[in-house]
Amino acid sequence: MSIKISNRLSTNEIEVIHQNFSDIDQQAACLCGYDQKYQQLSCGKFIGQFKTTIVDSRLGLYFEMINQTLDQSGAVPPDHYSVILLMNDGGCCKFNGQTFSSHNLWYGAPGSTFNGITIPGTQFAVVSIEKEFFETIFIGNYPELRNYPTKYKFGILEDSRTNAHRLRKVINQISIILQTSSHRFANILPIKCLRLSIAEMIADQLYNVLHPMSENKVIRLSNRFQIARYACAYINDHRGIDISISDLCRLTDVSRRTL
């Protein structure tokens, strides 16, 4: 279903598209059409409930409830940032080799790769925000961290009950409003405000994770394999030339001795 919300005073238009699927590969095809580099390994075997809401090219909300155990690999598209979280308290799965519960958030930079193993009944959501749109907000609010969001090739896993609950609540509210948008809005301003509010909330939470002095900095990088992946990605990016141990320590958030 495609709903166009028009501003009566101008020719500007925002298109809100709602779609429902019963098979994860159907949704994957939708994501590919949305310029997503999304690799699915399900081979059409996995049935569940899959909903997609796209607000022009700047914001996408994807909801998935899996009825079987699913081993899924994917990547954030090169022109978007993504945040992945569970929508139900009882769900628990593995994400990039680590336990992923309703207290966790995964922030994915453009091109970040992931692998998730979910159990039956797991409900999770993906928030996808256009790269240029998000960076304008993030860098505008936090210019001192302008180079940080894209450094983490495998994303950032945060453990924060408060942030996860806060984002989950906002996603539910926005999803409900957008589902009835054709009847509630006479112009595009409210939808622009919704789109901006969720982007600013994610930018604020990501700032708290990335800022060196933040009390909320709880990135889980204790797993030695994960640290090694970050370090190898950094070395490969620099082609093994002029490698800075200090930069590696800052990137992986560990001491020289641990590294």
Q: How confident is the model over 60-69, as pLDDT tens digits?
A: 887 777 666 7
Residue 158 token pair: 């945060």
pLDDT of residue 215: 43
Among 214, 104, 227, residue whose Cα is nearest residue 165:
104
pLDDT digits (tens, 9 = 90+) for 124-175: 888 989 999 999 888 888 887 777 666 676 688 888 888 899 899 888 888 8
pLDDT (mean) for 14-35: 62
pLDDT of residue 251: 67
Consecutive H or E run containing 141:
helix 131-141
pLDDT digits (tens, 9 = 90+) for 68-124: 676 777 778 888 899 999 988 766 688 888 888 888 999 998 888 887 777 777 888
Mean pLDDT (the chain) is 71
- Which residues contact residue 237 at a Cβ distance below 8 angstroms, ignoring those fewer than 6 apart? none
High-pLDDT (> 90) share of the chain, %: 5
CA distances from 228 to 84, 113, 115 (A): 23, 15, 17
- Decide: helix, strand or coil at residue 120: coil
Give the model's confidence band at 35: pLDDT under 50 very low, under 70 low, under 90 confident, else very high.
very low
Q: What angle do CA 186, 190, 192 make, to 5 degrees?
A: 120
Contact 224, 246 (CB under 8 A): no
Q: Which of 18-22, 153-157, 199-203, 232-236 has the lowest mean pLDDT?
A: 232-236
Between CA 54 and CA 143 the distance in angstroms is: 29
Written as one letter, the residue type at 53 is: T
CA distances from 209 to 26, 99, 217 (A): 34, 19, 4
